[in-house]
Structure 1
Amino acid sequence: MTAPPVPAPSSAPDVPDTSRAAVVRDALGVGVAVGLSGFAFGVTSAGAGLSLVQTCALSLLVFTGASQFALVGALGAGGGPFTAAAGAFFLGTRNAFYGLRLSQLLKLPRLVRPLAAQWVIDETSAIALAQRGRDAARLGFTVTGASLYALWNLTTFVGAVGASALGDPAAWGLDAAGPAVFLALLAPMVKGRTERTAAGLAVVLALLFLPLLPAGVPVLMSALAAPVALAFARRPRTSGQQAPDAHTAPDGPAARTPADRAAREEGTADDRHG
């Protein structure tokens, strides 16, 4: 009798074909949906006075939508270049924290990491972190980054070129497109009580400092809302709670230990005989 043949080790990836199709579908959906917003950036940037070359260079080299909108928005409002760059830099620092997490998850080759760093943004991080397994995370990151980068730069160019034909972006309401897109990206992240508190306080601070400080600075001051909201969230809640005295047994799992049960029964028996 001959032994059955031993199957050769499979070199297939750990992501099934159906899962790969789902990852690609989700990644392309995000890439196309957000990539079309580059048109709004191109129009907004041209309306703020930036040239076609400057606008396209921002999308090619910076490639982080919120920071780009913050930069051209501050410049369009009359802010200085250093103030505008400071606001854009502040918003872009979140990508560094994304990179720390993605570097552990993706574990890309060293030669690829500098190029992949250009694609570390909100959308690519969200798609990659939502996957199970390294291969799926790499696939989602790559498809989202490639589709979004290509479409964002293409629509930026079209928007900047078409801005001159459209005339004043404010007449079409396109001056509000940048903030609207940014709020649309930010709104799904505001879920918990602390996040809502920080967002509401940030709006109040921005409106408070808007008539007092140069353009671009109020958005920096609104960042003070985050530590304030975290401080209130971590504060112990003592209002409405009665401090336990010596005769009150603690509640919860600790009260169900044998020693606590014996102490409680002994105290009850003393009360009855007393």
Structure 2
Amino acid sequence: MDLAPGEQASARRAAVQQSLSVALATGLYAVSFGALSVAAGLDLPQTMALSLLMFSGGSQFAFIGVIGAGGTAAAAVAAASLLGARNGLYGPLVAPFTGARGWRRALAAQVTIDESTAVSTAQPTPEAARAGFWWTGVGIFGLWNVFTFAGALLGDALGDPRRYGLDAAAAAAFLALLWPRLADRAARVVAALGMGVALAFTPLVPSGLPVLAAALVAVVVGWRRGPQQPDAQEAP
């Protein structure tokens, strides 16, 4: 439904506030990535290069997981690439309201991640969706790299990060982000189907493909339901 100007401004402020809270929560668990990365044998410049250039939490954890287990660089790159491929599926969802032109298209592509997509597509207006995308994506990028640096510096002092549960921090944080999105039946069905597909594929295919297959479930369901525009939703 169309919102009055005051309601549109309120929706945009709410999107910014949500973005900042998500950015802070997500950025904080980059400490675990930095610590685990140095524990896996990477040095500080290598760790920071992964966060600055790859900038996909799941892919980064997959990369250092393979390296830490004694795998080859090629195997680590393959696992990270398969997990990162899901971000390409988000492009058609966020492109209509990012407002990206010229060099901003490259920046938009870099910050198109799980969280920026989730926050932006949950907003009631195109303006709020645009604000949610940029504030979430850029906010996480900045904080993720700051806390990666901190975690890498603390890595040697902490010892084995698994002793503190830091190896599970990323999964726990993402579950906390996802949980509020399962408020309606359709979202729960998609989540259940994706989980079933991922579990079925896990023992059969290389690392990364189960997540990509689960993401395709959501894409197929969304395509069958038709496009859902942010301005067609009611304000919260």
TM range, normalised to the smaller chain?
0.7 to 0.9
1:196 equivalent to 2:192? Answer yes
3-state DSSP of counterpart to 1:112: helix
- Match 2:46 to one of 50, 54, 59: 54
- Which residue number in structure 1 is paired with residue 123 of structure 2? 131
Quote the Cα distance in structure 2 between the aligned partners of 1:224 and 1:151: 26
- Match 1:172 to one of 148, 157, 164: 164
Contact 1:14–1:135 at 8 Å: present in 2 too? Answer: no
- Match 1:30 to one of 15, 22, 39: 22
3-state DSSP of counterpart to 2:103: coil
Deviation at 1:106? 2.4
Q: Which amino acid letter does the alignment assign opposite residue 147 of structure 1?
A: G
Q: How many residues align?
A: 210
Change (3 A) 1:30 1:218: same
| Cα shift readout 1:120-166 (whole Å, capped 9, x = no counterpart) | 10111111112233322221111112211111111000000001111
Larger Rg, first or second structure (1 or 2): 1
| Cα shift readout 1:30-69 (whole Å, capped 9, x = no counterpart) | 1111111111111111111111111111111111111111
Query: Which gives a bigger RCO, structure 1 or 2 (Cα 8 Å, sep 6+)?
Result: 2
**Which stretch has the larger CA shift, 73-82 or 16-25?**
16-25
- Match 1:43 to one of 20, 26, 35: 35
1:73-222 to structure 2, matched below 5 A, reads 73-181=65-173, 191-193=187-189, 195-200=191-196, 202-203=198-199, 205-206=201-202, 208=203, 218-220=206-208, 222=210
| Cα shift readout 1:227-247 (whole Å, capped 9, x = no counterpart) | 9x89xx9xxxxxxxxxxxxxx
1:18 equivalent to 2:10? Answer yes
Quote the Cα distance in structure 2 between the aligned partners of 1:31 and 1:127: 10
Deviation at 1:83? 1.3
More helix by share: 2
Change (3 A) 1:68 1:187: farther
Q: Identity of aligned pairs, percent?
A: 44
Contact 2:62–2:79 at 8 Å: present in 1 too? Answer: yes
Contact 2:99–2:130 at 8 Å: present in 1 too? Answer: no
- Which residue number in structure 2 is paired with residue 255 of structure 1? none
Quote the Cα distance in structure 2 between the aligned partners of 1:37 and 1:121: 15
1:72 equivalent to 2:60? Answer no
Change (3 A) 1:135 1:14: farther
Quote the Cα distance in structure 2 between the aligned partners of 1:40 and 1:109: 35
Change (3 A) 1:121 1:40: same
- Which residue number in structure 1 is paired with residue 233 of structure 2? none
Q: Which amino acid letter does the alignment assign opposite residue 202 of structure 1?
A: A
Which consecutive unaligned segments of at least 5 residues does structure 2 have? Answer: 222-236
Quote the Cα distance in structure 1 between the aligned partners of 2:85 and 2:15: 27
Change (3 A) 1:158 1:130: same
Contact 2:82–2:209 at 8 Å: present in 1 too? Answer: no
